[in-house]
């Protein structure tokens, strides 16, 4: 195996025997084979579009298959076997449709013609034989740019899939995904690859806009809401991941069952949505970010539902309590299918003891997405003009296990009291419960939401720039971002496509970026690796 797509990759180079994330060598091969197969499907779909053949089932499936290869989504070899066979079956059906519409189907690329082995072992061998990453391009810089786009596509597919689940789709997004996946099978020069990567970021803005419309259109705009961090007596279910619709369906199915629902990780901001918070049994939040699952989940006395994503190997002490749904998967863990009948989760929760006491651990405030923040825009603008607010920091992104991530806790602690801090995604758990006070009644620490709500943060920045009649780069705003997986890669591409500069990125730079490609990013966007909180704050604030 050779995987270097995430921030925790082994030795900062690549995982070559087993993933630090727990990905096994066979699964790595299956992910490579699935990606190869999806490229074949995309070659046909891209050709089909030119003769008017557009198939929504193919569009939706393409996103699901690509999203399945994102870090910490699916570790189940059997599920990958099903996906690979379905990809090739769809490819052949689509070929026939394209041919009937007058399109050319004489593809020579191996991805468009390969036959998958019948057995899972055979598929694993086919995957291993691909040597996929190293075969992308012999030139390391071009290979690096291809990887940036491919990982960006994984993030983009994730957002497009989340949005489609809520009924929000735009064919332009699918068209780009097909075009780009197909293009990555061929030879492209440096300029073409840079353009393809930036387009990925641009299209992702649209996908995130669709997701924002899906979430806020279905569940309302988040409103400021205190969320208890303790618990109350009663049976309980913990919901983690990012999928609001799964949570909504679970809340509905448990409303008269005497079970309290708690969020974990990236589901915390769900407490702010009017159509979710209306359920009286939607109680509070338990635990912190994804990498602490194995420590925290054994302590939860109820069932645990993983929506997409991040899953870590469930320990035996709580594995029987774990259920997955959506694209997330772990071998031998019960999976709730598309009928979304959560009865097995509910029955497990009823069979477990639940909490028997009341513990008060205080609360945190959520609900500062674009509608809330822009609702107090006048106050904020006035505070900037009167110098009550000196600077805004967006400290956001993914959390992870590396010790270097203490940087993010420390910088938040050291940011002066006349500065506001916006945050989003699971990196916030390093400081989400800190009491940072307020400026003129506005809390200093504002939780914009999940990583999936990056669109909301961008809209806030764009609106502030409009109010001050300047560009986003000219605002008293600094972005201190932490990355871990490929949704963060595509958000970075989106920020680049918007011309946003001076991003501080950490805790380490991606292993798949070569020094030459990094130079291009530094020259064009002035990306800076994070250094120390003291040095970075001095450089920003003077």
Crossing angle of helices 56-68 and 171-183, in 10° steps, is 60
Q: Which is nearer to ligand SF4, 21 or 198 (CB)?
A: 21
| 185 interface partner picked from ligand SF4, ligand FSO, none, CB below 5 to 8 A per type | none
410 vs 172, 430, 435, 470, 532, CA distance in Å? 42, 9, 14, 30, 9
CB-based contact 130:36 (threshold 8 Å): yes
- 238 SS3 class: strand
Q: Which is nearer to ligand SF4, 20 or 128 (CB)?
A: 20
| 8 interface partner picked from ligand FSO, ligand SF4, none, CB below 5 to 8 A per type | ligand SF4
| Distance of closest approach, residue 424 Cβ to ligand FSO, in angstroms | 8
Nearest CA-CA partner of 125 in 68, 77, 75: 77
| Distance of closest approach, residue 143 Cβ to ligand SF4, in angstroms | 16
State the Cα torsion 266-268-270-273 to the nearest 10°.
-140
| Distance of closest approach, residue 21 Cβ to ligand SF4, in angstroms | 3
Q: List the 235-240 sheet strands across, edge first.
A: 282-285, 259-263, 235-240, 303-306, 322-325, 334-336
CB-based contact 93:329 (threshold 8 Å): no
Number of C-beta neighbours around residue 358 at 10 A: 10
For 293-306, give the secondary structure using H, E and C: HHHHHHHCCCEEEE
- 434 contact partners, CB below 8 Å, separation of at least 6: 412, 413, 445
| 312 interface partner picked from ligand FSO, ligand SF4, none, CB below 5 to 8 A per type | none
Q: Which is nearer to ligand SF4, 28 or 237 (CB)?
A: 28
Nearest CA-CA partner of 500 in 475, 467, 535, 468: 475
- Residues forming a β-bridge with 394: 422, 479
| Distance of closest approach, residue 1 Cβ to ligand SF4, in angstroms | 7
Q: Which is nearer to ligand FSO, 148 or 425 (CB)?
A: 425
Q: Which DSSP symbol is given to 313?
A: P
Q: Which is nearer to ligand SF4, 209 or 485 (CB)?
A: 485
Q: Which is nearer to ligand SF4, 3 or 369 (CB)?
A: 3
Q: Which is nearer to ligand SF4, 5 or 321 (CB)?
A: 5
Binding site for ligand FSO (CB under 6 A): 72, 265-266, 290, 309-310, 398, 425-426, 450-451, 484-485, 487-488
320 vs 72, 106, 335, 370, 395, CA distance in Å? 19, 50, 12, 39, 36
| 398 interface partner picked from ligand FSO, ligand SF4, none, CB below 5 to 8 A per type | ligand FSO
Q: Which DSSP symbol is given to 3?
A: B
| 450 interface partner picked from ligand FSO, ligand SF4, none, CB below 5 to 8 A per type | ligand FSO
Residue owning tokens 């699918």: 174
Q: Which is nearer to ligand FSO, 323 or 355 (CB)?
A: 323
Q: Which is nearer to ligand FSO, 1 or 426 (CB)?
A: 426
CB-based contact 494:503 (threshold 8 Å): no
End-to-end CA distance of the chain: 46
| 451 interface partner picked from ligand FSO, ligand SF4, none, CB below 5 to 8 A per type | ligand FSO
For residues 164 and 152, what is the distance between their CA atoms, to the nearest angstrom? Answer: 18
Number of C-beta neighbours around residue 292 at 10 A: 17
Q: Which is nearer to ligand FSO, 398 or 464 (CB)?
A: 398
506 vs 291, 424, 532, CA distance in Å? 17, 15, 11
CB-based contact 271:245 (threshold 8 Å): no
DSSP strand pairing (445-449 vs 528-529): unpaired
| 19 interface partner picked from ligand FSO, ligand SF4, none, CB below 5 to 8 A per type | ligand SF4
| Distance of closest approach, residue 455 Cβ to ligand SF4, in angstroms | 25
Binding site for ligand SF4 (CB under 6 A): 3-6, 8-9, 15, 19-21, 23, 71
Strand segments (E) across 89-152: none
Q: Which is nearer to ligand FSO, 194 or 493 (CB)?
A: 493
| 23 interface partner picked from ligand FSO, ligand SF4, none, CB below 5 to 8 A per type | ligand SF4
| 311 interface partner picked from ligand FSO, ligand SF4, none, CB below 5 to 8 A per type | none
| 272 interface partner picked from ligand SF4, ligand FSO, none, CB below 5 to 8 A per type | none
| Distance of closest approach, residue 285 Cβ to ligand SF4, in angstroms | 27
| Distance of closest approach, residue 22 Cβ to ligand SF4, in angstroms | 7
| 425 interface partner picked from ligand FSO, ligand SF4, none, CB below 5 to 8 A per type | ligand FSO
């Amino acid at each position: 195996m050779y995987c270097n797509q995430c921030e925790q990759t082994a030795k900062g180079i690549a995982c070559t025997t087993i993933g630090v994330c727990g990905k096994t060598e066979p699964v790595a091969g299956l992910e490579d084979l699935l990606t190869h197969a999806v490229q074949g499907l995309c070659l046909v779909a891209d050709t089909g579009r030119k003769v008017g053949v557009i198939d929504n089932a193919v569009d939706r499936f393409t996103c699901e298959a690509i999203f399945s290869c994102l870090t910490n989504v699916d570790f189940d070899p059997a599920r990958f076997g099903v996906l690979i066979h379905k990809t090739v079956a769809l490819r052949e059906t689509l070929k026939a449709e394209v041919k009937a519409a007058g399109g050319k189907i004489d593809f020579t690329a191996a991805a468009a013609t390969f036959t998958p082995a019948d057995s899972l072992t055979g598929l694993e061998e086919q995957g291993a034989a691909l040597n996929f990453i190293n075969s992308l391009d012999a030139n390391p810089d071009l290979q690096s740019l291809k990887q940036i786009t491919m990982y960006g596509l994984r993030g983009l597919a994730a957002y497009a899939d989340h949005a489609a689940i809520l009924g929000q789709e735009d064919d332009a997004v699918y068209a780009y995904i097909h075009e780009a996946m197909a293009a990555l099978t061929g030879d492209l020069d440096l300029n073409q690859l840079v353009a393809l990567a930036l387009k990925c970021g641009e299209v992702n803005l649209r996908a995130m806009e669709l997701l924002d419309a899906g979430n806020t259109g279905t569940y309302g705009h988040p409103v400021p809401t205190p969320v208890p961090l303790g618990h109350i007596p009663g049976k309980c279910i913990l919901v983690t991941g990012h999928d609001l619709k799964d949570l909504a369906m679970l809340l509905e199915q448990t409303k008269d069952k005497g079970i309290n629902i708690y969020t974990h990780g990236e589901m915390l901001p769900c407490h702010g949505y009017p159509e979710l918070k209306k359920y009286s049994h939607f109680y509070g939040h338990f635990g912190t970010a994804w990498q602490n699952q194995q420590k925290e989940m054994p302590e939860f006395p109820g069932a645990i539902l993983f929506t997409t994503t991040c899953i870590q190997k469930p320990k035996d002490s709580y594995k029987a309590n774990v259920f997955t749904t959506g694209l997330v998967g772990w071998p031998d863990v019960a999976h709730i299918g598309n009928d979304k009948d959560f009865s097995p989760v509910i029955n497990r929760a009823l069979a477990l003891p639940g909490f028997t006491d009341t513990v008060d651990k205080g609360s945190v405030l959520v609900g500062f997405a674009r509608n809330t923040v822009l609702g107090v825009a006048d106050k904020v603008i006035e505070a900037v003009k009167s110098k009550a607010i000196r600077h805004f920091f967006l400290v956001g992104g993914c959390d992870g296990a590396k010790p270097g991530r203490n940087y993010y806790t420390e910088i938040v602690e050291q940011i002066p009291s006349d500065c506001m801090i916006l945050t989003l995604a699971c990196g916030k758990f390093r400081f989400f419960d800190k009491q940072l006070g307020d400026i003129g009644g506005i809390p200093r620490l504002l939780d914009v939401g999940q990583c999936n709500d990056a669109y909301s943060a961008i809209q806030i920045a764009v609106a502030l720039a409009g109010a001050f009649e300047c560009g986003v780069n000219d605002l008293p705003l600094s972005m201190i971002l932490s990355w871990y997986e490929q949704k963060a890669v595509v958000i970075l591409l989106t920020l680049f496509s918007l011309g946003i500069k001076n991003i501080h990125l950490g805790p380490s730079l991606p292993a798949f970026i070569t020094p030459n490609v990094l130079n291009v990013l530094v020259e064009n966007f002035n990306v800076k690796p994070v250094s120390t909180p003291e040095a970075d704050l001095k450089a920003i604030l003077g």
